[in-house]
Structure 1
Amino acid sequence: MATSILWNSYSRKTRSGAVFAAWLPSVPTLSSEEVDFAPLLAQAIAAQKEEQEDYESDDEISGVDDEQPQLHPTTSESSCQSPPPNKRARPPDFADQAPSAGKKLSGSHLRRKKKRATEIPESGHTPRASSIQQHVRPALYIPAPFLDAMTLPTTSCAYSARTEGKTERVGRKKRHSLKEMISLGFQLVKWDGITPRPLVDSCGRIFAVLAGQPVLNGYGLAVSRAYNLMKSLGSASQFPAAMRKHRRGLFAAVNVGLTMGKGQPEPTWLDGGDYSALAEQLIQNEDIQRMASFASYAFALWAPRLHDHYVKNNAKLRTHCPDLRRLFPNSVFSCAAFNFARNVWTFKHRDVCNIPYGWCAIQSMGNFDATKGGHLILWDLKMVVEFPAGALILVPSATIAHSNIPVQDGDERVSFTQFTAGGLFRFTDNNGRTDKKFAEEDPEGYEAALEQRANRWVKGLELYSTVDEMFSNDS
């Protein structure tokens, strides 16, 4: 079918009256076969797509389809080379993850966002390569030159950490001040609670991260609302004295989620007893869910192999126990603790039942001066870290002894943590059964599994990212 293209006539006459444009009387007709519209159409689509991409950005809780740079396993040797010098500029915060003001999201963007909302519960977060370039590459890491993660106190099978010995328990319930810790030679790490700062051991492993927090998209308001909710629920609950004194501190802790410990035949959902309704209200709250999802996103950003390890274990759990519920739809962690008091601070402790090479997500909330109190003390590193409200820190809580400095009088602080029990990994590695049942049903397979467990700690540490791969421009 021919396509007609018409020009608007514009004629002029000479003084003699002759028409100046001789072509006007006949209207030309161009065939579609004479004009190749494909390149023009492709160019228009590309331009529209480029304009749309300007409107899009990673928000703090969304993964995208872009493939991450390939990371390579770390060395399994206990001896290692020191990480390269830290020569990087101050890293950016998460501000540039917010959509541009005044620009509405298109239908295609909303469809992609909806697609991610269904994919994240199954596959976890997948930060795009541009996010790694913006938020990881420029980060200033904090060296821990006297720590080799290989020497941390794990059990031989690496499903739990070694229990705290007598030396560790001495004075662990003591209240410490910032002045005291500095006098003991601890390094004060000043931190704004926003800018990511990875912690690097003597072998270049990123074994923990001061992950920060988003500063736009209303994240700070969400944290404030979550804090006010915890404060309100805590005041109304009137926790008994027995609940406000335990090995971790002088505060009420409400635990909720999926766990598995010694003596349990299968994974179970923690029964909160009189506080089940309170726990349910917290985990269903949109602001709490947003904080939980950001913690999982930051986990994927800084330790993609380790994050994927959790994702795969969760998938195995669903296979063996399809009726078990998830704690948060957009978080890979299986369990959470909500810590209530006017001034929440912990004793020196390790959470030995957590997977020892895994990370615990710690998020603080409240109204307090983070330069005067609320610091996180990392005893094995001899560091005391400023820990502002809303900030996230990811740390192997099973193997690194940690505690807090109380906030000053008149200030208020609560905390929210996420973690996963090592028993859940043991259960899936045993093909959905306990060690006892595994040994009874398949003695040879069990013996083979025991031999493989001797190398689990090394394999677990290989899941950490390294300075070379995360900060290399070639990654």
Structure 2
Amino acid sequence: FFRDPKLIVDADGRIIAALLGRPEGCDWDSVIEEMERVMAGVLRRGRKRRIFLSKNLRHRRGKFHLLSDGYSMGSGQRVCHFFTLPAELLTFFPATGKSCPQQGISTPSASFPRELGHLPHRRLSYFPKLSKYIAQTMLGIEDDQTGLRRPFKNSVYPGVTFNLGPDTVTAEHRDGHNLAHGVCPITSAGKFNHKTGGHFYMRQLKVVIEFPPGSSMAILSGAVDHGNTPISKGETRYSMTQYAAGALFCWAAYSYKTARNLLETAGGAEKKALFDSEPGVRAAWAVSLLSKVDELEADRIAAFGADK
């Protein structure tokens, strides 16, 4: 499915990052060109109309334009929430017939090629146990809170960020609000020389990786400090990242309640203690969801069954 993927493993052979490269079996150049076209168009029209919010311009990842789609949780919220964007900005995305239940207008992800959602595809995942855990949790949340929708139907992830650039170079950061042991698929695009700039680095792993336009990787963004090297003047770079907020998993485990609301129910304290476990227990369980290279195929079969 991917052309010559490379895996980064720990001392025990556990996969902690997958450098996926480019997929086979589709006209990927056309997919990436369409991704770039939509991003450049939205950026151009949004700038002209001056309707980007400050949070879409300056943020902890750097100084470039970005938009998010899907649903998340955190910051004291009692239920899951859709990302909110200016309605006028959303109208810049090409109409596709897919609409947001809350706003009745086209959503950002609906304008992008559906192939972009392929990266975490369950049978071809290098993180099958983790993918199954995310998928089952999101299905439970979506059953409990009707109306929620994921950005891509063929992805397990509830959230996506489109980094519109036009010169997307992320500052070194760690996505502490994401699921700590969750991997985030990232796709790079744009017109830049990947030999001289736009490299992806992970500080704790002490690796610097060429990240050409059209390539993808999956990393533990909530556990590793990461960023990009600068690109040259006049070049453009865009990227897309799929992810899941860690608070979603706590909310689901707490019977679709916040910790405070759970503690107010009969038996809530015991249920919370059971999920939280003793120090180190959940950390060990989280690490166990990362497959080892020599167990990968067996994990895929155990998680999703053998190919028919």
* TM-score (structure 2 length as normaliser): 0.84
Q: Does 1:198 align with 2:23?
A: no
Question: Is there any run of 5+ residues in structure 1 with no aligned partner, and where?
Answer: 1-59, 61-93, 95-193
Matches within 5 A, 1:69-218: 94=2, 194-218=3-27
C-alpha distance in 1 between matches for 2:146 and 2:232: 47
Q: Answer yes or no: is 1:319 the counterpart of 2:132.
A: no
Shift of 1:263: 0.5
Structure 1 Cα separation of the partners of residues 53 and 258 of structure 2: 36
Q: Distance in 2 between matches of 1:404 and 1:428?
A: 34
User: Does the 8 A contact of 1:299 with 1:394 survive in 2?
Assistant: no
Distance 1:315 1:342 in 2: 35
2:211 aligns with one of 387, 394, 399: 387
Q: Which amino acid aligns with 1:455?
A: V
Compared with structure 1, are the counterparts of its residues 471 and 426 closer, same or farther at alpha carbon in structure 2 (3 Å cutoff)? closer
The alpha-carbon deviation at position 373 of structure 1 amounts to 0.9
Please give the alpha-carbon distance, in whole angstroms, between the structure 2 residues aligned to 1:296 and 1:416: 13
* Runs of 4+ in structure 1 over 6 Å off: none
Shift in Å at residue 407 of structure 1? 1.6
1:223 lines up with 2:49 in the alignment:
no
> Which structure dedicates a bigger proportion of its chain to strand?
2
Could you say what secondary structure the match of 2:59 adopts? coil
Structure 1: which amino acid aligns with 2:199? H
Structure 2 residue matching 1:381: 3-state secondary structure: coil
- 2:38 touches 2:111 (CA, 8 Å); kept in 1? no
Q: For the pair shown, which has the larger CA radius of gyration, 1 or 2?
A: 1
- With over 3 angstroms needed to count, the CA separation of the structure-2 counterparts of 1:316 and 1:300, relative to structure 1, is farther
Query: Quick one: which of 286, 292, 296 aligns to 2:120?
Result: 296
Using the alignment, how far apart are the partners of 1:468 and 1:420 within structure 2? 27
Give the corresponding residue for 1:267.
80
1:150 maps to what in 2?
Answer: none
| Structure-2 residue corresponding to 1:464 | 290
Q: How far is the alpha carbon of 1:380 from its aligned partner?
A: 0.7
The equivalent residue for 1:258 is 71
Pair 403,299 (structure 1): closer, same or farther in 2 beyond 3 Å = farther
Question: Which residue does the alignment assign to 2:261?
Answer: 437
Local SS of the residue matching 1:394: strand
Q: Percent identity?
A: 27
- 1:421 aligned partner, one-letter code: A
Q: Distance in 1 between matches of 2:123 and 2:255?
A: 26
Match of 1:282 in 2: 108
Please say if residues 177 and 246 of structure 2, whose CA atoms lie closer than 8 Å, have aligned partners that are also in contact.
yes
Paired residue total: 280
Distance 1:236 1:318 in 2: 33
Find the aligned partners of 2:120 and 2:293 in 1 and give their Cα distance.
21
Structure 2 distance, partners of 1:404, 1:361, is 15
From the superposition, tell whether residues 459 and 410 of structure 1 become closer, same or farther in structure 2 (CA, over 3 Å). same
**2:97 maps to which residue?**
none
Paired position in structure 1 for 2:276: 450
C-alpha RMSD of matched pairs (Å) = 2.2
CA distance in structure 1 between the aligned counterparts of 2:279 and 2:139, rounded to whole angstroms: 21
Q: CA deviation at 1:281?
A: 4.6
Q: How far apart are the structure 2 equivalents of 1:410 and 1:315?
A: 43
Check conservation: 1:300, 1:307, Cα contact below 8 A. Answer: no
| Preserved contact between residue 260 and residue 267 of structure 1 (Cα < 8 Å) | yes
Partner of 2:57: 244
* Change over 3 Å in CA distance of 1:227–1:443 after alignment to 2: same
The structural deviation recorded for 1:247 is: 1.4
The C-alpha deviation readout for 1:95-153, integer Å capped at 9, x for no partner, is xxxxxxxxxxxxxxxxxxxxxxxxxxxxxxxxxxxxxxxxxxxxxxxxxxxxxxxxxxx
For 2:275, what is the secondary structure of its paired residue? helix
State the TM-score, normalizing by the size of structure 1.
0.56
Task: Assess if the C-alpha contact under 8 Å between 1:350 and 1:398 holds in 2.
Answer: yes
Displacement, 1:278? Answer: 4.6
